Amino acid sequence: MLPGALAAAGAYSLLRSAPSADFQPSPAAFAALPVSGRVASGGPAFGLAPRRPSASGAAGSSSLRRLPAFTERAAGNAAAVLEREEASTYAGPSVATLAFQALTFLAISGASIFASFGTQAAAKAVVGMAGMYVIMSCNEYVVHRYYQHLGINKLAIVRWLRSKFNMRAMKTSGHIEHHKETLDDMSLDIKPEPILDADPFRGTAFSWSVSAMMTFEIAIQSYPFLWLCGWSFKASTIALAAAMFLHAAVWQTLHPNMHELPDPPVSYGVPGWSMKFLRNSGYFKFLYMNHEGHHRAPGAHGNYNVCFPLADHLFGTYVGIIPPKEPQLQAA
C-alpha cells in the first residue's frame, strides 16, 4: 500500500504566497525583471507552439468567443467547447486521455497491491488514493474560487451574515492584482502594487510558510478520511507529505515559469527546478493550456483547478481552450 500512498500526489489551492522573511533573491535571478513594464518574452513555454491565432482561426475564433465558454458549459452546449479545442493549436492530451491514464494508473496500482497483499489492502489503497485526490482537487477549487477570487463575498448566506452582524467583506489576498497584471500571453505587465511588490515572485509561488498552512488544512481532512479507509497513521502521514510535496513541486515548476519569472529557489520554498524535466510532458502542456484558459475566461471564471483537474468538471466550470486575443508581442 505504501507505493500507492506515495503516488497519491493530490492538488491544493493557489494561496498567495508571502515570501519568507530570510529570503533574499539573488541579483542575477532578477536582473532581467524591470521595475515597471512588461516582462521580456521568453518565447514559447513547455514546448508549445507560439501562442498566436492562425489567420483562419482569427476569424472563426471571434464568433466562438461571443458567448463565454462557461456559459456554454452551463447551458449544456459542450459542442462549442469541443469545437474551439479542435480549432486550436494545442497539441497536448485531451481531458479524456488524462482521465483514462489516471484510471489506468489507479487500476495497475490496485492490481499490484492485490497481488502482494490481497483484496482488503488493495481496496483500502485504491479508495484512499482516489479519495485523497478528490479532497485535494476540491480544496484547490474552493480556495481558488471563493477565497482568492473573493467568490465567498457573493454567496447569499455570507451576504446575509454581513448585513445581520455588520461584518466586513473579505479583502483581496493579492490574487486579483496578479490577474490585473497578467497579459493575454501570460507575461506580466509589472507596475508598482504594494500587495505584490513585497514578494519577489509576485504571488505566483508558494513560500515554505504557505506550504505549511496548506499542509495543515489538508491534514485535518485527509487523516479522518484515510483512517476510515483503514490506513495507519504512519501511512497517512507519508501519503500527506508526499502529496503536498509533489503538488508544490508541480506548482513551482509550472506557475512562475509560465508567467516568465525565475524558478523559486529552495530558500524560498519547494524549488521550481524540482520537476523541470516534465515541462515538455503532455501533463504539463495540459496544465499550461488549462491555466491559460483561467486567465482568459471572462471574469477569470473557470478552470479553477491548476495542478490536478477534477472539481471544474464536477461543478461545470471547465472552459476548455481559450485562444489568445492577439499575437504574442515580441520583446524589443
- Determine the angle formed by the axes of helices 233-258 and 208-228, rounding to 10 degrees: 140
Contact 238, 5 (CB under 8 A): yes
Break the chain down into helix, strand, coil percent, rounded to 5. Answer: 55, 0, 45
Angle among Cα 94, 100, 104 to the nearest 5 degrees reads 150
Q: Which amino acid is at 108?
A: I
**Lowest pLDDT segment from 36-40, 107-111, 278-282:** 36-40
Grid coordinates belonging to 18: 508571502
56 has pLDDT over 90: no
Q: What pLDDT sits at residue 97?
A: 95
pLDDT tens per residue, range 269-282:
999 999 999 999 99
Q: What pLDDT sits at residue 67?
A: 39
Q: How many CA atoms lie within 13 A of 23 on its CB side?
A: 22
- Specify the residue for cell string 502521514: 237
Q: Indicate the pLDDT class of residue 232, thresholds 50, 70 and 90.
A: very high
The number of angstroms, rounded, from the C-alpha of 64 to the middle of its chain's C-alpha atoms is: 25
Q: Name residue 299's beta-bridge partners.
A: none
33 has pLDDT over 80: no
Q: Average pLDDT of 144-172?
A: 90
Count of other CB atoms within 10 angstroms of residue 103: 11
CA distance 55 to 149: 34
62 has pLDDT over 60: no
Contact 72, 80 (CB under 8 A): yes
The H or E element containing residue 27 is none
32 has pLDDT over 90: no
CA distance 51 to 200: 26
Q: What pLDDT sits at residue 23?
A: 44
Predicted TM-score (pTM) of this structure: 0.74
Burial string for 111-148 (b: 16+ CB within 10 Å, else e) reads eebbeeeeeebbebbbbbbbbbbbbbbbbbbbbbbbbb
pLDDT tens per residue, range 238-264:
999 999 999 999 999 999 999 999 999
